[in-house]
Amino acid sequence: MSSKQQCVKLNDGNFIPALGFGTYKPEEVTENKPLEATHLALEAGFRHIDTAYVYQTENHVGQAIRSKIAAGLVKREDIFLTTKLWCTFHRPELVRSNLEKSLKNLQLDYADLYIIHYPMQMKPGEDLFPEDEHGKTLFDTVDICATWEAMEKCKDAGLTKSIGVSNFNYRQLEMILNKPGLKYKPVCNQVECHLYLNQRKLLNYCKSKDIVLVAYCALGSQRPKRWVDPSSPVLLNDPVLCDIAKKHKRSPAQIALRYHLQRGIVVLAQSYKENEIKENIQVFEFELPSEDMKILDSLDRNLRYAPAPFGEGHPEYPFSDEF
């Protein structure tokens, strides 16, 4: 892994770089942007790349990684690649096929981390967001523990080195952790986490179970029109955050990322701008004093930028619980 970065040990013995690069593409962003951005991220020193089947960016991410391997900039083992099982593939017999589709898109032999994207099942088929004639999401009924067993088989088959979850609340994590015959614990729980939603309770719970919390939307999200309320506050414009950034002669994004790293969270940074990508990787060059950490803690307002409205009618919609 890049010497610029720190790594966190997972409960299966593998290591994940503490800073990752997110590749979600809002609809309003042009088609080839993820390819350009992943190239820039790898050149800047990012070695942890996060994608997902549903993002439809895997082919671009894979292309960027393979070109950097071919150019001798990195080896495959230097890269930590995460992708995710989508909600329409939760039936145990479909889990491996979704990972195989992702690997085919990426043109890679294995993922470093494969995670269940949401604890909600949707009707299998070609549609990523299946709906009835009234625009209501078509759900499916699958035991999450059966899905997890299929994830374990993917790890045993060598298609992924580690397995984890995303957007699970503590009760849903308990369902897996208490499953009879559990072979592998989830190594991580990737959730929305930022200064306005600092996930204190879920973080403490995950730490107690040796599960790493991975933060997405750490910079306040890309604000895609489809998912994010345009009236929600812009995190990086927060005056308290900006004051602390000025004091340390750093960008607000660097402060927001550093805050999570010091809490023991693995954090994903996303940007399509070269200067921001280069800036974001410099978060290992400074430390925030405890008084600044306390001030940043106080910004929490339980605000969720990405509430996954497509899943709101699902019995396992994860964001109804307290944490």
- For 174-232, the DSSP string reads HHHHT-TT--S--SEEEEE-BTTB--HHHHHHHHHTT-EEEEESTTS----TTTS-TTS
Strands 15-17 and 188-192: unpaired
- The helix-helix angle for 33-44 and 58-70 (nearest 10°) equals 40
Give the model confidence (pLDDT) of 139-148 as tens digits: 999 999 999 9
Instruction: Look at residue 232 in the predicted model and tell me its pLDDT.
Output: 87
Q: Which residue has the tokens 């996303």?
A: 270
Write out residues in the chain with pLDDT < 50, as ranges: 1-3
Instruction: Indicate the pTM of the whole model.
Output: 0.96
Structure tokens at 28: 């309003």
pLDDT of residue 4: 54
Please report, to the nearest 10 degrees, the dihedral formed by the alpha carbons of residues 43, 46, 48, 51 taken in order. Answer: -60
**All domains of the chain, ordered by start, with CATH?**
7-305 (3.20.20.100)
Which residues are annotated binding-site positions?
117
Name the active-site residue from 53, 55, 118, 305: 55
- Does 317 participate in catalysis according to the annotation? no
Radius of gyration from C-alpha coordinates of the chain: 19
Binding residues for substrate: 117
Question: Between helices 144-156 and 170-177, what is the axis angle to 10°?
Answer: 60
Which tens digit of pLDDT belongs to each residue from 100-159? 999 999 999 999 999 999 999 999 999 999 999 999 999 999 999 999 999 999 999 999
pLDDT digits (tens, 9 = 90+) for 276-290: 999 999 999 999 999
Q: Which of 148, 142, 212 is nearest to 177 (CA)?
A: 148
